[in-house]
Chains A and B, each alone.
Chain A
Amino acid sequence: MAKLAGFNKVEVLVVGAGPAGLAAAITIKKRQPEIGVCVIDKAEHAGNHNLSGAVIEPGPLHALLDMALGQWQESERAQDVLGHVVEKDKVLMFLGKKLAFSMMPSIQMARLFRLGFGKMVHKGDYSVSISKLTAWLSDIAKEVGVEVLHGFAAADIIMNGDGSDAIATGVKLVDQGRGHDGKAQANFMEGEVINAEVIILAEGCDGLVTERFVEEAKLTRETAQLYSVGVKEMIAVSDEQYEKFGSNRCVHAMGYPLWTPLRGPGMFGGGIMYTHKKNHITVGMIVGADWKYHDFNPQDALARFKEHSYVKRYIEGGEVVEAGAKMIPEGGYRAVPRDPATNYIGKNNVIIVGDAAGFVDMLRIKGLHNAISSGMTAGMAVAAHFSFPEEIAMRYTRMLEESRVHRDMRAARNFRQTVAKFGNSLGFPLSVAANWLPKFNIEPDYETMTKASYRFKREKAFDKDAFTAAARVEHREEQPGHIKIIDPEICYNICPDNYDCPCIVFCPAGVYERIHDEARPANPSNCLHCKTCQNKCPYDNIRWGVPEGGGGPRYKDM
């Protein structure tokens, strides 16, 4: 339509309004207000698709807020979002359903000797909800003049040219208004193309457009990306329970039910207990996605964790008011996608920030500070060199290499792979020397599945309906399914006999169901966008696509 001519053109387009994307956008606007910056996100409202633990390292966040707001410490919003500072930092080892030992002494010791896992301390960090933090950053971005537009899901990147000259001209949004059968309805709207001079990919973990770009621009990773799956619940507890727990405690628990020394299971990960709201305790379970039990589901482990006597006393009788699931990229330094020719994290006018690039520091199990730092670095690179869009990838990579993100990521570069290779009992001690060990090539997560069963499987199936209800997930029901099975034959003939269709079990939202003897993504509208299925189907038989904008969970306090 004529009146809309030109409105699909922006100068800088950021895909993904998470902490990384918003930090980038805010930085550009603060430094060079005349550059037009637009951020799009598939969630209906700011923060709806952002889920984290989270304890966040204050440094980078402070730097961002100082730059954007100057005075912010006293503001009501800051009090609301950052009101909880960790004082009691507990790292525990659970042995069985009742015992809990403190690991703090060994961590303190490791810290003393400057060993890697000595960095697992959180005292002084903020305990936050990133849905809320993201919503705040989104408002700040709008205030400084960024266009933040929600409900727009990107489906693809449009590249022009080949090889080293390949330049991106824009991003295509998903089609909207098709029926179940894929046919266009009366309200059909073809995915628009947004043209941009610079594109910042900030889609978070396993980004769809990011991976399309990695493929198109031929970026490579030194090792395959590894993932963890996080499931969490926010529980409203009684006054007494909250008082007992305190407003500033943060608990990380290893061991049971993911790992026991002798008889297994042997999975990477652990449970968390945080609080970032009065009378609410968040419990979560983060599990390395290289688990090998075909009948395992992180929610089962979460249910076990909640029954452990240390956890139970704080949450028993409480009501789950919100729940959700998401993945964390854990491959670290060597799994960051780069242009093999130049080593840049991106190509020409396209760069990748935050979880989309994989900037999670596994020694700290943290990614938020790096998401913000890498976003700010990207912002500075774009602000300073906007007139030369094709130089942005180079400038950004150079600036990042000077930064702490790079140093920390490098220091932790082999930790997760070592644990993956040798298992927890041997891997943790070995990880001390991980950086001197040779590089391992670890298989992708989906290849690790076996016929083995999880020893602590619960009798009663986890109530996934209640879980998705607490995530307030919603999609327009009539749209075509956004999850594709590449070869349904495998689901029918091969997978059932070998692994009994693990997707039915591990999908936290119950999207997969057996219909006429075949596992299918029968309820796509339950989907939490965690992308576990895409990385855990033993036959790598699932492709997750973005549904229509605005669909998905509606997290407010995750």
Chain B
Amino acid sequence: MSHYIVLVKQVPDVTQITDNAFDPETGNLMRGKLPSVINELDAQALAFAEHMRQLDGTAGGKVIALTMGPPMAEDVLRYSLARGADEAVLLTDRSLGGADTWATANPLAYAVRKIVREMLGGADDYYVVSGMQSVDGDTAQVPAQLAEEMGLPCVAYATGVAKGSERAEFTRIISGGSQKVSPRALPAVVTVAKYEETLFAGFAATRWARQKEIIRWSADDVRPTAVGVKGSKTRVIRVFPPAKTQRKCKHVASVGEFVQLLRESLKKASAVEGANGDVATDYVLPRKRGSVMDRSFEGTSKEIASFEDLVGQLKALNIESAGAVDDEAKEKIIAASRNGAKLNQAMLDDMLKGLEAVEPSYRGDVWVVAEHDNGQVHASTFELLGKARHLADSLEVKVGVVLAGQSVAGMAGSLIAGGADNVYVIEHPLLAEFDPSAMRKSIAEVIGRHWPQIVLFAATPQGRVIAPMISYRLGCGLTADCTSLDIRDSSRKGEIAVLMQTRPALGGNVMATICTKDSKCQMATARPGVFKRLPADESRKGEIIKEEVELTEDDLSLDVIETERGTGDVNFEAEIIISGGKGLASKSNYEDILNQLTSTVAEHLDCSVERGASRAAVEQGFVERVHQVGQTGTAVGPKVYLAMAISGAIQHMIGVSNSEAIFAINNDPNAPIFKQCDYYLVGNIEEIVPELTKQLGAN
């Protein structure tokens, strides 16, 4: 008999975000304007836990829902009680507000301990189950950090569960496939990536839930070691709306030109980087700038402007260094400060101090944690290396890579060719399989030996588990899923040359720039495909450094039962998605055309490709529902989206809006999709496809 502590979170309903949910002045999302709902993956986690309880079969297993949030987060607890949970705990305290993932995971871990002590009689046969990530933060960090704080095995990205001989067996997503694993001991943390059969509220259960008492704990009740803003290791610098992609809506006359454009779009590196960041210019260290007063490398344009203002005033007063400003001068400066950027004493003092700061806040190299499979380094690692090289050059430090596995030294050369100066190789038989516990222990140890100033991970199923664990273990902040990384100053805080980590949040509806604080090292994960790799340069020189780590069987947390690669699942991460609509008229037509095109593209354009469909095509039975793209299907964001005989209904287009380029073919010159795509051909599919296939096949 096991128990289940389910972490649930209340989030703004991002599906209801409209343009007027943003403050026109600041660009901030006005959360009050959105209804609150339970985070969808947490609802799935609750169903997952209930399913585990039923599989277990023995009576007496409890499901306890736990949330940390404002008092109104009670709603998600009632939601859970109406769907099978037996008890609900609300951890709520003003002091806990404003927490980042660190200062969320920590109090939650203490609350779990208290639940186990007081409500489960100190049992250790329990699971902490949670959604893999939340839609507002998208970080996927909290459960892994909670596992780290409690020293528990973490089964991340679970999609299914079966009864095992001793403990439950989980199916989880790994890069390029899936894996069956079982935790070697309980308690364990499970994060759910996809489990669609969420529970329905019962009528009787809803009425029971309404009167059921919710257990409320304050920070003092659980005594966490990290609390609220103060206990956080990151801080948000600014929030802004993402750049809107303007579609080109260009009518293309010939198939030849169409294919040409398609090839070009595929070749282009992802446009995500920079597009949504402020700055893409290189950084120059203060001591190398013409004047120490030059503060044009601040984190936000507003700060740049106020520093420029201040420097202008100092000049006008003939003051040459910030240290020489006396009280009288300060008064003058404050009096003269513009209405829009009115200064007060404290702000001015901050800025003057900032003008004196010239030394970088962090020391050490820029590191990348390598990911690999079957003796090959992942493309995502090379992309991170490209970025790391760039950052390291402007900071005038070296690029290091940590490479851990059973026998991996052979890959070091390719990393050096890809931009690394130092490769830190960790080899150990127990690192043969990717076990998050053993992996995070070895890598954290090596990071702790050298203390780089920046460590980058790929935001892959592996990276998103070990990065939170490693950062928590080393006491460092972590920002997940960055789409842009820049070195900038934050002079008013006395910080020079810090990493500005920009990432989408709230389901891509806002962008946030985040900085690390109170940490020895700045850590971030970045999405694959965002950064550009450097051309491999075999003549580059670098050093390979062997690192020893001690590992025993006890450091393993999971038994791997079975690994499956490249399952026949739909791969909507593909670089090009070709979708067919109802206009293809029949299943055989759909299959002929799509097979022809996808195989030609895969063969001749050297890229991953997947088939998609409109809902109407699915309803007509052309293809299985898993291929449906759109509001009720999957939202996709490939480099090229090619829509064949799809009209462009709003529910379809919502699901493709993140595509970098949209191509369309339709025989109706007034098809709505032509107003929402980049390039289009007008004509009959049947007539166009043979020519299209031919042109795509031509090398």
Contact = CB atoms under 8 A, between A and B. Distances in A.
A173 B51 contact: no
A186 B651 CA distance: 28
A185 B50 CA distance: 14
Contact of B203 (A8, A185, A465): A8
B103 interface: no
B198 to A, nearest CB: 7
Given A3-B208, A466-B650, A151 B619 contact: no
B197 A465 contact: no
A40 B203 contact: yes
Interface residues of A, number: 32
Interface string A13-43: 0000000000000000000000000101000
Contacts of B197: 177, 185-187
A469 interface: yes
B50 to A, nearest CB: 8
B632 A469 contact: no
A151 B205 contact: no
B202 interface: yes
Contacts of B202: 4, 189, 192
Contacts of A192: 202-204
Nearest to A520: B619
Interface string A498-524: 000000000000000101000000110
B30 interface: no
A7 B207 contact: yes
A279 to B, nearest CB: 12
Interface string A147-190: 10101100000000000000000000100110000000111010
B649 interface: yes
A8 B208 CA distance: 9
Nearest to A147: B207
Given A147-B207, A522-B619, A465 B650 contact: yes
A48 to B, nearest CB: 12
A3 B62 CA distance: 13
A256 B547 CA distance: 85
A186 B203 contact: no
Contacts of B206: 149, 152
A152 B205 CA distance: 12
B208 A149 contact: no
Main secondary structure, interface of B, reads: helix
Interface residues of B, number: 27
Contacts of A149: 203, 206-207
A504 B668 CA distance: 21
B208 A4 contact: yes
B694 interface: no
B201 A465 contact: no
A299 B210 CA distance: 43
A525 B47 contact: no
Contacts of A361: none
B198 A7 contact: no
Interface in A169-216: 173, 176-177, 185-187, 189, 192, 194
A548 B205 CA distance: 17
A469 B196 CA distance: 23
A185 B204 CA distance: 21
A525 B587 CA distance: 22
A513 B620 CA distance: 9
A187 B200 contact: yes
B651 A177 contact: no
Nearest to B582: A513
A469 B619 contact: no
B159 to A, nearest CB: 13
A8 B204 contact: yes
A184 to B, nearest CB: 11
B615 interface: yes
A551 B92 CA distance: 33
B200 A7 contact: no
B649 A465 contact: yes
A80 interface: no
B72 to A, nearest CB: 16
A513 B615 CA distance: 12
Contact of A515 (B51, B86, B201, B619): B619
Interface in A385-401: none
A8 B650 CA distance: 42
B632 A173 contact: no
B162 interface: no
B620 A515 contact: yes
A548 B201 CA distance: 11
B650 A7 contact: no
Nearest to B54: A186
Contacts of B417: none
A513 to B, nearest CB: 7
A210 to B, nearest CB: 19
A152 B206 CA distance: 10
A477 B628 CA distance: 12
A151 B201 contact: yes
A468 to B, nearest CB: 8
Contact of A7 (B196, B208, B616, B625): B208
Interface in B583-639: 615-616, 619-621, 625, 632
A52 to B, nearest CB: 23
A189 to B, nearest CB: 5
A186 B196 CA distance: 10
A523 B618 CA distance: 10
Given A469-B650, A522-B619, A525-B632, A177 B204 contact: no
Given A8-B203, A192-B204, A186 B619 contact: no
A461 to B, nearest CB: 11
A467 to B, nearest CB: 10
A548 B203 contact: no
B507 to A, nearest CB: 17
A114 B625 CA distance: 61
A474 B86 CA distance: 30
B199 interface: yes
A191 to B, nearest CB: 9
A523 B615 contact: yes
A38 B200 CA distance: 19
B208 A477 contact: no
Nearest to A194: B203
Interface in A531-555: 548-549
B56 to A, nearest CB: 14
Nearest to A175: B200
Nearest to B18: A321
Nearest to A470: B650
B198 A469 contact: no
A513 B200 contact: no
A289 to B, nearest CB: 27
A228 B531 CA distance: 59
B594 to A, nearest CB: 19
A4 B205 contact: yes
Interface in A460-484: 465-466, 469, 474, 477-478
Contacts of A7: 203-205, 207-208
A365 B293 CA distance: 75
What are the 10 closest A-B residue pairs judged by CB atoms, nearest first? A7-B204, A465-B649, A187-B197, A8-B204, A176-B200, A4-B204, A7-B207, A186-B197, A522-B619, A469-B650
Given A513-B619, A515-B619, 19 more contacts: A3-B86, A4-B202, A4-B205, A7-B203, A7-B208, A40-B203, A149-B203, A173-B203, A187-B47, A187-B197, A187-B198, A187-B200, A189-B200, A189-B202, A192-B202, A478-B196, A513-B616, A522-B620, A549-B200
Interface of B: 47, 51, 86, 196-208, 210, 615-616, 619-621, 625, 632, 649-651
Interface of A: 3-4, 7-8, 38, 40, 147, 149, 151-152, 173, 176-177, 185-187, 189, 192, 194, 465-466, 469, 474, 477-478, 513, 515, 522-523, 525, 548-549
21 contacts: A4-B202, A4-B204, A4-B205, A8-B203, A8-B204, A8-B207, A149-B203, A152-B203, A177-B200, A186-B197, A187-B197, A187-B198, A187-B200, A465-B649, A465-B650, A469-B651, A513-B616, A515-B619, A515-B620, A522-B619, A523-B615
